[in-house]
Structure 1
């Protein structure tokens, strides 16, 4: 009985190896095309095929396996792009913050005032527009993800974000020293 089990494992491994060799370059090219970084593209290939290996026995090989593979690669690339966006936003916000060494400086106080004005600007938005704005700016969801979550069209999300950004910008500039607000605010949004 052990020999039969080992034989099945070898067949599964061989089948997966063939599958991997046939599609790894396509996944790599897709990832590289979106990420423009070799190491990240290689990580995507590894991640996609590791996920497929775990579920390889469950896959219906009579279905369009290319479509499944494309979806897995697309999701992995989107996850990576989202991570990059979050890291970039965090770095930008950290770069915009005044040094922590001296909290009593005028810059530090001005930044805190600006943060309050910014939060007030968000609070002034209509409820649904505010929700869309926060999902985009604070939870880093794409327009499509927001549309799916709220059951609205992507065009509605896009339109509401444009209006929200304009409204927040206008509110901040009206309630804060313009020169300082522009410098700091451009880093926040």
Structure 2
């Protein structure tokens, strides 16, 4: 299997399979990012598709994965801003009952990009945990369910929930420490942003 760098080179050379590689790699994150901006499920697939069409058109300009990723996020952000502008224009002309309004600050956009990347990072880390630990972590930490609710849902005991959650947190802490990300800051950021 080709590495990211090899796929980047192949993309510049016009390989459609390299484009598919990057579509698989970034579509989910871009979809999540776009949804945080416009919250309109109907327009998001078009926005994401458009971003990859533009990536293909500019494929010879990317010499690092960071450039490619930044380009995709900027294209999606701009498309979402355009969608919001169209929504506001329709609202102003009486054609729409509710307008989708976006805050237009770079800080807010950067926060949403960081949030998207952290969610992806957390998702990848959770996939590497044993199934029971990952499920209990999602239910207790991400969904905020009580131990009793989790016990009832999973038909297990409170001690199993405590043990699995503790093991999951320890494993995730190690993963994020390797990446120089504080586990606690990550959870706070994800829960309150």
TM-score range, shorter chain: 0.3 to 0.5
**Larger % of helix: which?**
1
- The structure number with the bigger radius of gyration is 1
